[in-house]
Structure 1
Amino acid sequence: MAQFMDVHHGMTGITPDQLAEAHDADLSLEKEEDVHFQHAWADPASGEVYCLSEAPSAEAVQRVHERAGHRADEIHEVPLSI
């Protein structure tokens, strides 16, 4: 499966609890799309949130995020990592 990094904009002031809640919402739905969300990071000052996942496609990642209530603004396939 491919890896994807997605970005959410406009989440200025996000708290650790809110980030955990959003990540948990993704985890509760991920199996339905054969997606696995591995990690999430946030910068409360800029409002940027980043999620790393393994999935069959960017569309599958987006479907999970949409159903969880936080559509990704960008999704990038990660073709190479070490």
Structure 2
Amino acid sequence: MCQSLVDKVAQSKQLMAVAHPEILTLFENWLEELEDEVIRCAAAQGTDVDELAEATGLSRSGARFLISKLRREGRL
């Protein structure tokens, strides 16, 4: 949990270096909503990349990335 928070803070600092703070906040909110949607879809239909991509409107690589990220964080 603490490492996840530290990682998120580090990632935010990196993004702040290249993005306007208001845009960064919008992006972070969007990503959190998307992660929640992937978690809900995965609970309902599993973690098949093609199915999650279709259900969420993501590309296959985007779905694969979020599945890996959520698994690393222990959220999936």
TM-score by length of 1: 0.28
- Give the number of the structure whose residues are more often helix, by fraction: 2
TM-score by length of 2: 0.30
Pick 1 or 2: higher relative contact order, CA cutoff 8 A, min separation 6.
Answer: 1
Rg comparison, structure with higher value: 2
